[in-house]
Amino acid sequence: MWEQSGNREPPANQKTHLGRATHGHASKRTATPAPLGSRALLPLARLVRPYPRADPRADQKPLQVQVDLGDTEKQRQALANNTEAWRLATHPEAKSRDPHRAVELAQQAVELAPKEGLYWNTLGVAHYRAGNYQDSIAALEKSRHLQPGQLAAFDYFFLAMAHWKLGHKDEAQNRRAQALEWMQKNPEALKKNPSYDDELRRFRAEAEELLEEKKDK
C-alpha cells in the first residue's frame, strides 16, 4: 500500500490517499481527488478508520480512516468543506482561526455526507471554538457513534473541554482520561502519523490547561 510521505505523489496505478497535510504551522485534512466511486483512505490516527481499537498490529501500519467519496460531486464538496473547516477551527495560531466560518463549512459537510464520523468531529470542534458547547457535545457524540474507537482521542479531548465549560466537571475529567488512555494504547501508530500526533499533543495541552486552571480556582 502506498503511504503518503512529504509531497510525494502516489503511483498512478494506486488508490488515492487522503490525510491531513502540514502547511507551515497548520495541519489540516486534505484530499487529492480519488476515482469516483472509490473509498479514499486517510492515513490517520483521527484517526479514523476503519481501525480497530487496541489493534495489536498498530505498530506495524499507519492508522487509517476511510471516507466514502461516493459517486457524486457532492461527496467531494463535503470533503473540501471539511478540510477548510478543520483548518479554520484548529490552526495553532488563534488569530488565524475563524470558528463561525468553520461551523458553516462543517455543517455543510455533514449535510452532504451525514454518515461520515470524521466530518461530525470537525463540526464538534468548530462548535467548541465558536462557544457553542452543547452543540459541540452533540456533534462529537455523533462522531463517536459513527466511528467507535477510531480517532477517539480527537473526540474525547474536545468533549472534556466542552463539558468543563458547561460545569460538568466529573464528565470532563472522565473524557480527558479516555483521551489519554487512547493515546497510551496507540503510541507507535501515532509516531507513524506525526501530524496527528502533533495535533493531539496540542489538544491535550489545551484541555489540561483548561481543566487544571479551573480546578485551582
Residue 150: what pLDDT? 80
According to DSSP, the residues that pair with 30 across neighbouring strands are 19
Identify the three-state secondary structure at position 174: helix
**Interatomic CA distance for residues 23 and 216, integer angstroms:** 36
Q: Where are the domains of the chain?
A: 18-216
Does 131 have pLDDT greater than 70? yes
Q: Rounded mean pLDDT of the chain?
A: 76
Give residue-wise pLDDT tens across range 157-208. Answer: 999 999 999 999 999 999 999 999 999 999 988 888 899 999 999 999 999 9
For 18-216, give the CATH class: mainly alpha
pLDDT exceeds 80 at position 95 = yes
User: Is residue 182 within 8 Å of residue 155, measured between CB atoms?
Assistant: no
Alpha-carbon span 35 to 37, nearest angstrom: 6
Asked whether 44 and 196 are in contact (CB, 8 A), the reply is yes
**What confidence tens digit (pLDDT) does each residue in 36-49 have?**
333 333 433 333 33
Query: What is the distance between the alpha carbons of residues 106 and 99, in angstroms, rounded to a whole number?
Result: 10
Maximum separation of any 2 CA atoms in the chain, in Å: 58
Q: Which of 73, 108, 94, 110 is nearest to 26 (CA)?
A: 94
